[in-house]
Amino acid sequence: MVENMEWYRVFYFAAKSGSLSRAAEELYITQPAVTHSIKQLEAKLGGQLFFRTSRGVKLTAEGAVLFKYIEQAYNFIGTGERKIAEMHQLMDGEIKIGAGDTLCKHYLLPYLAAFHEAFPGVKIQVTNRTTPETINLLKQGNIDFGIVNLPVADAKLNVRESLRIEDCFIAGHKYKQLSEGTVSLETLAAYPIILLEKGSSTRAYIDSFAGRHGVAIKPEIELGSIDLLVEFARTGFGIACVIKNFIAGELEQLGLFEIKLDKPIPPRNIGVITLKDVPMSSAATRFIEMLP
C-alpha cells in the first residue's frame, strides 16, 4: 500500500481536471510538484497512469481502474463529512442512555419526548438497569451517559446533581391509621414492609438510613419497581417505601396515605453521570443541557 496518501490526492485532482496545471491550482502547489507526485505514484504502482494529449492529460487503462476506486473513496469521505455536519446540527446521530425503570418513566420520559420532537433525526436508545448496572454500562462504553439515584462516588465519573427527591412510606386503607400522626422507624418496622429488591441504590439508601437509627428493616415483600410497590401497598399487602416526588399527585387518587416518620428520611438527588475525559456527541451534550 502506498505510504503517501498525498500522491492519491494529486492523482485524483489531475484525473478529474484532465490538466496538471489546473490540478496544481486547485491544490495550491506548483505544477512540478504535481508531476513529481504522479511519477512517484507510478513508480510505486509499477505502471503509467496518464498520457499527454494536446489538451492536457488522459488516464491510461490502469489509471482509469485506479481512478474508479479513488473516486469512490473521495465520495465516501464527502459522505462522512456531511454526516458529521448533520450530527453537529442534530439532523442525524444517536444517543444511548442508561436509566432505571422508575427514573425513565417518572423523570426522563418528558425530556425524551421534547428532545425527539425537536430533533427527530436523532435515534434514542434507553437501557433500563439499576444504578450500579448503569455505572458499569457507562464504564464499558455501552451508553453515553446515565441517569442514576445519588449518592454515587466514583473517581472515574463526572456526577451532576439534578432533581432533588424525597423518599417516604405509604400505605393503603388497611394501615391508614398510621398516617394520622408521626411514627418512629422502629414502630413502623414492626409492620409488614415492602421495599425495592436489593441491588438498587434506593434500597441501599433506605437500608443505610435505617441502620444509622439502629433499626434493621426486614421486608416481607421485595419488588423490582416503584409502580409495583405502589400497587402492593394500595392493595393492602403492607407499607411501601417509594419516591414521593413521583406519586405525590396521585396519593389520594390511588387510595394511598403517606406515613410520616418522626425523623424523616433525608432528601437526596437524581444525578447525571458521564465518564471523565471522554468527549460526548453533540446529541448527548444537547440532551443533557435540557435536563434540570
State residue 255's pLDDT score: 84
Helices 61-88, 282-290: axis angle to 10 degrees equals: 10
Residue that has been written with the C-alpha cell 444504578 in this structure: 131
Q: With beta carbons less than 8 A apart as the criterion, state whether 38 and 10 touch.
A: yes
Using left for φ > 0, alpha for ψ between -120 and 50, and beta otherwise, residue 84 falls in alpha
pLDDT above 90 for 277: no
CA distances from 272 to 131, 148, 204, 275 (A): 11, 6, 19, 10
Given pLDDT bands bounded at 50, 70 and 90, which one contains residue 75?
confident
What is the per-residue pLDDT across 139-189, written as a single tens digit (0 to 9) for each? 998 999 999 999 888 999 999 999 999 999 999 999 999 999 999 999 999
Quote the DSSP letter at residue 104.
I
Q: Tell me the average pLDDT across 128-141.
A: 92
State residue 3's pLDDT score: 59
Q: With beta carbons less than 8 A apart as the criterion, state whether 241 and 193 touch.
A: yes
Full-model pTM: 0.70
Torsion angle in degrees (nearest 10) through CA of 274, 275, 281, 286: 20
State residue 280's pLDDT score: 86
Q: With beta carbons less than 8 A apart as the criterion, state whether 170 and 194 touch.
A: no
Sign for the CA dihedral angle at 282, 285, 291, 292 comes to: negative
What is the per-residue pLDDT across 188-223, written as a single tens digit (0 to 9) for each? 999 999 999 998 889 999 999 999 999 999 999 999
Nearest residue to 223 via CA among 251, 245, 200: 200
pLDDT above 60 for 2: no
